A and B are shown apart, each in its own frame.
Chain A
């Protein structure tokens, strides 16, 4: 019993202390750049708490160390000492030593055997008290006056080791209500410890949080997440049934179930979300230490530290990110003299940035260092025999850069303690891809390097596109999806060609390898099986006079097209692992239960590409991927081209694809009126519709019964823009040639040989539906207040 109580106490102490240490790391770094009394006071309190608690738990080595640290800090706080880099380093070293001791406590159960006499003496010397010996024995002559805590610690210590002063069995248990019940002085010590915790807390801002937050076991959250996953699947099934059963009460109930499930899913997901700052916060310390050993000056800047990610993903990206940060300091940023010679400030800059985009999180790590020398990688790759001279001449810079992700590849001239051993970048990439993410590099020689990592928000429930091939449905994770292309009957020959048995598809000037899903999975189409001709390898283009559905996918930085029989809808799916019997099939990532209650297989896009011999970076194929080599500024914008009006009077307009959620075909008959606004019921919400044609008064309207609707997402609200036809998605650098004075139009440019109006979406909405925009901002205001 007493062991249990002590164990529990120790556990709590550990959790709390680790948090405190992380805080300390952060505060010390801040302190160095901007000395601040408040921070010193806060650090002092944290160390004081640590000392009090460790004394109470009988961890005398830990107590002795923190005690001298506290002394030093109290002199800093009282302005008897100036903070120097030496002091900061000594204190940071102390924090590290404390961490080691805590680790020892966690695994072995005591605070280790090292008494850190040297460090204690060093700290005491810095505190200017000359004689470190007296301070190494705090229990004897503690000057700070909380002798209650020290006395208590002695008692507890005796109790644990000798057992003598502690009453035996039953009374012990009876008294075991308070953790330190048996020894009266210890109870006093308990209070003292609690008091010091309490006094430490409010200033660090945790006081108010402590009242409204509780610690929850991650295992419990995982279980809740699994249950919610099951609920989502059950919901999907109910919804499918409710679409058939046309009973009003059932329909209402199932819609309610739908909403509640969605909210519950979001809620449970949020409980697992953690700001990426949790791992970033360790970087300033890492960078400081590393820069110190490399004799460099590096400033860390963070942007979007509050961006939240699922806990499992945070854990998974921690090591890759640390590696990239270390690399940036070690290889990226140059020595101060080199920097100054190049006309850059002596202090290097490491910029961390995180932001949400399209249901994914982007993390960028950029430095303003020397950049990666493509020529050097090329040489290195040649000398190592990674690639043949012949291959190199055919490789783009981008593909050469990609070589650094190969195992064992390093351009560092000397192997340092920190990096350069060639293990690393391949592990970084593997770890990121394991969680469904991707990484790419942008580098400019002499100006710096940016690594961009894209990762999904969560792994448990993912949006997926359902496709059908040979009568069976398969799920494709939306992370891998670039776009969907439909080639109408008879147009296949123009854009698909066969080169030595391999099919390629021409998409906006780029050649993409084309695979047939049924061929990759070796399944025969249902009708051909019936007809008795199951020869699946015989799927040439000529056999497909009908329309082709191509799913453009991204695997390993390479795009390819996958031909499927039918494209269904998107669905939220829960990934369930396949049994041992099927795990080796690399084309599948798992299975899920679909809306109709059947089991659906989830395609592993990397696996499918790999099985087909695509996407392996070891055999770079020229121009096989939709890779972009330009830096951000030169990169073309992806635009959606739409047309409104008919014939001669048709106007072409372009809008940024990033604002477009979906494209829908909506019958005019299903549009309703709400106030003075046309609306349509869309995915259980009411979506306002505006007509693009209204921007161009002269355009003739078409007589069609359905409207192509571009579903836009603006400030979290969904708005439909009706147009006459959707033309294409293009990626181009737009040069606005003629500035327009029509509201909503930025100007005109020539896109694909036609004059195209470039739309400013916010302005379009304010021109076409001013009330709507007002609503939006009012909503925002009311949410904000």
Chain B
């Protein structure tokens, strides 16, 4: 099996270390003013104007059922390409782009239950911490019930 190193764009969410495939990331931008969408699922934080394009911003903390972000902390936007156009993930802090090898990869752990378990593709066992890999497509899909 050809072992190819993969690159991930990493970010922090409630002290957890997450990553998405760097090839899926269109850009990373600082906090943008947002338009609140009434009647929308709670995960939808609002709409941002990305150079004339309207992009839906999702609060990843809510999506992953983590605790709410403190009011004084402004999130960052990780804009990810999806089939339905770009979607922005709101995260706490942006990390580096890391390159990891397949040998330290662990498929999804069954012990992570519920929504987070479905959204996490797998885990890289880095030396000092764990890198949780987010399935961007699943994360960007929000059912009406949410």
Contact = CB atoms under 8 A, between A and B. Distances in A.
Contacts, number: 64
Nearest to B41: A581
A521 interface: yes
Given A522-B38, A593-B49, A576 B54 contact: yes
Interface string B62-81: 00000000000000000000
Given A580-B84, A581-B40, A587-B39, 14 more contacts: A472-B35, A521-B39, A522-B38, A581-B140, A582-B44, A585-B37, A585-B40, A597-B49, A598-B35, A599-B35, A599-B46, A599-B54, A601-B35, A601-B38
Contacts of B44: 581-582
22 contacts: A230-B52, A233-B52, A523-B36, A578-B56, A579-B55, A579-B84, A579-B85, A581-B56, A581-B87, A581-B140, A581-B142, A582-B37, A584-B144, A587-B38, A591-B35, A591-B54, A593-B49, A597-B49, A598-B35, A599-B34, A600-B35, A601-B38
A432 to B, nearest CB: 27
A522 B39 contact: yes
A600 B38 CA distance: 12
B38 A523 contact: yes
B35 A579 contact: no
A578 B54 CA distance: 8
A599 B47 contact: yes
A471 to B, nearest CB: 9
A598 B37 CA distance: 13
B84 A593 contact: no
- The A interface, classified by DSSP as helix, strand, loop or mixed, is loop
Contacts of A581: 40-41, 44, 56, 58, 84, 87, 140, 142
B119 interface: no
A522 B37 CA distance: 10
Nearest to A586: B39
Interface in A510-549: 521-523
Given A584-B144, A598-B33, A579 B38 contact: no
B99 to A, nearest CB: 31
Nearest to B35: A599
B62 to A, nearest CB: 13
Given A579-B85, A599-B35, A593 B52 contact: yes
B48 interface: yes
Interface string A639-651: 0000000000000
Given A522-B38, A581-B142, A582-B56, A599 B49 contact: yes
Given A576-B54, A579-B85, A581-B142, A591 B41 contact: no
Contacts of B140: 581
Contacts of A597: 49
A601 B44 CA distance: 14
Interface in A583-633: 584-585, 587-588, 591, 593, 597-601
B38 A593 contact: no
A601 B37 contact: yes
A599 B48 contact: yes
Interface string A181-202: 0000000000000000000000
Contacts of A521: 38-39
Contacts of B54: 576, 578-579, 591, 593, 599
A598 B49 contact: yes
A576 B48 CA distance: 13
Contacts of B40: 581-582, 585
Nearest to B40: A582
